[in-house]
Amino acid sequence: MKKSSKTATPSLRPLKLPAHEVRVLPNGLTVHLVPRGPLPLVAVRLVIRGGSAFDPVGKLGVGDFAARLFRRGAGGMTANEISETVEFVGASVGGFANEENVIISLSTPSKHFTPMFEVMSKVLLEPTFPESEVELARRRTLAALTNDLDDPGSLAERAITRTMWGDHPYAHELLQGKKDIEAYTIGDLKKFHRERLGPKVSHLYVVGAFDAKEVMKTIERTLGGWSGGPNEIPTIPEWAGLARPGEVIIVDKPEQTQVQMRIGAAGVKRGHADHFPLVTMNTVLGGGFTSRLVTEIRVKRGLSYGAGSSWDMMSSAGTFSVSSFTRTESINTLIDVALGEVKKMREKGPSKAELATVQRYISGLYPARLETNENVSGAIADVVHYGLSDEWISQYRERIAAVTVKEAARAANTHLFGKERSIVLVGNAEQLKKKVEKYGPVTVWKPSQFE
């Protein structure tokens, strides 16, 4: 293993992170202090376990909708007053949700940390959800939904998510359908804030140039009295597997002369024992511009400008997908090439030369992912959230470099799909249906089914 590491990346330098101090307030809030210089800047990230997977049916997307409104009026301050206050000192504050978490972030010059953290605390603890701001956000969200449903690529992503996850909570879109968006009330937003957010399910990360004693005084003064919310980390149910295995879904866009293609399959959850072999193997297959998929689909055949594959790894489960697009008349060739390349990788794995190339590529790029305080806070938050090992970040490049051809081939054979896959196409259903029947039972959906 050590020999493989040195061969792949002979000039690796140690990747060290600053000391990471953890403190827990009496109310249950876990605080992570990561002093880091030399720039006089501080990044703050509050991660609350309460993302879209926990949204109630009929109010899907309410978490992200509410989180984006937190700074649109809070603690006696209007949206304009909040913006003027933080922008005057070159700071920024905001909120959003992903599948598993609600995140509130702050970036500020070090000398303005205390007043800016006070603003962030108001945004967290005292959002007012003014009616005018709620209605403005609703109009903008509905407009964004309209754009999504008109865009073939966005439609394809929505369709493959639904096709793979089915009724599982990971199928909950952040940007939900029209009925859900129109149904949100101010009472719903307040209920979300009251019931889903709380110190016992939250981690606060502070990264940058700061005085730890002063920072803790500010945190204890502003958030020490925070209470309510869940007493325990909510859980996400196990996934039974693809909702529509072996099927072909066509989202009908009759005006389209091109077809968006997605192939989806079961993957692995974050932190899986095969994580590093899977990352290196997929970079060869479809994770970079010189990948096999790009070479076969774009360079050799001119079927598309782009093609790729990726793992989507979350805490409870994960998926694998292949994506591209082409002209309607060449859709069979595109699907055949994509399926063929996955099959080749599953059966034979990457070559020694391919593996060595991507190991150098991944190892060279990884430090750039830790350049800023925001990057570091996000990386440490991921380690905590997914229960990864303490050396996950510091040893990431070494573990990539240590992957052998045999390990990458075994991971490919174990985790890449065979017949258990779903295909989604967005295009002219009338022209596509007979072409793609050979890949499995065909169902036609309308874009309106995503409204």
253 shares its domain with 218: no
232 in any annotated domain: no
Nearest CA to 291 out of 197, 355, 232, 385 is that of 355
pLDDT in tens, 232-259: 999 999 999 999 999 999 999 999 999 9
**DSSP assignment string, 32-58:** EEEE--SSSEEEEEEEEE--GGGPPTT
**Residue 437, number of CB atoms within 10 A of its CB:** 11
Query: In Å, how far are 92, 234, 381, 382 from 387, measured between CA atoms?
Result: 29, 15, 10, 8
Total number of domains constituting the chain: 2
CA distances from 365 to 62, 123, 359, 389 (A): 36, 35, 10, 21
**DSSP three-state, residue 359:** helix
Question: Residue with structure tokens 């009338």?
Answer: 430
Beta-carbon contacts of residue 93 (< 8 Å; ≥ 6 apart) = 71, 82, 86, 104, 105, 106, 107, 116, 119, 120, 123
pLDDT tens digits, one per residue of 257-277 = 999 999 999 999 999 999 999
Instruction: Kindly state whether residue 68 falls inside one of the protein's structural domains.
Output: yes
Residue 265: CB partners within 8 Å, gap ≥ 6? 164, 242, 319, 320, 321, 416, 417, 420, 421, 422
Domain that holds residue 271: 248-450
Q: Are residue 139 and residue 274 in the same domain, yes or no?
A: no
Local structure of 427: helix, strand or coil: strand
User: What's the rounded mean pLDDT across residues 357-383?
Assistant: 93
Helices (H), 224-291: 275-285
Are both 88 and 196 inside the same structural domain? yes
Is residue 193 in a domain? yes
Shared domain for 164 and 269, answered yes or no, is no
Asked if the structure places residue 2 within a domain, the reply is no
Q: Which residue has the tokens 């008349």?
A: 329
3 pLDDT tier (thresholds 50, 70, 90): very low
Q: How many CB atoms lie within 10 A of CB 183?
A: 14
Residue 83 lies in a domain: yes
The answer to whether residues 195 and 252 belong to one domain is no
pLDDT exceeds 50 at position 424: yes
Q: Residue 169 — φ and ψ, nearest 5°?
A: -55, -25
E-strand stretches of 174-243: 202-208
Q: What is the CATH number of the domain that holds 210?
A: 3.30.830.10
DSSP 140-184: HHHHHHHHHHH-HHHHHHHHHHHHHHTTSGGG--SS--HHHHHH-
Return the SS3 of 333. Answer: helix
Residue 2 has pLDDT above 80, yes or no: no
Q: What is the DSSP letter of 127?
A: B
Same-domain status, 136 and 255: no
Q: pLDDT digit string (tens) for 52-97?
A: 999 988 889 999 999 999 999 999 999 999 999 999 999 999 999 9
Residue 230 domain-assigned (yes or no): no
Identify the band that residue 11 occupies on the pLDDT scale cut at 50, 70 and 90.
low
How many contiguous H segments (helices) and E segments (strands) does the chain have? 17, 14
* Rounded Cα distance, 125 and 120, in Å: 9
Encode pLDDT of 264-310 as tens digits. Answer: 999 999 999 999 999 999 999 999 899 999 999 999 999 999 999 99
* Same domain (yes/no): 178, 49: yes
Nearest to 231 by CA among 200, 266, 186: 200
Q: Are 259 and 252 in contact (CB under 8 A)?
A: no
3-state helix, strand, coil in the chain (%, to 5): 50, 20, 35
Tell me what pLDDT residue 275 has.
97
Q: Are residues 210 and 279 in the same domain?
A: no
Average pLDDT over all residues of the chain: 94
User: 352-365 and 275-285 helices cross at what angle (nearest 10)?
Assistant: 110
Q: Which residue has the tokens 């010189």?
A: 290
Is 442 inside a domain boundary? yes
What are the tens digits of pLDDT across the range 34-49? Answer: 999 889 999 999 999 9
Residue 267: inside a domain = yes
Burial class (CB in 10 A: 0-12, 13-18, 19+), 43: buried
Residue 207 and residue 62 in one domain: yes
Q: Which of 223, 257, 280 is the last residue before a domain boundary? A: 223
Percent of the chain whose pLDDT exceeds 90: 90
Residue 292 structure tokens:
């096999």
Q: What is the pLDDT of residue 89?
A: 97
Residue given tokens 């000398």 in the structure block: 111
The residue among 367 and 203 whose pLDDT is bigger is 203
Q: Are 220 and 25 a contacting pair, CB within 8 Å?
A: yes
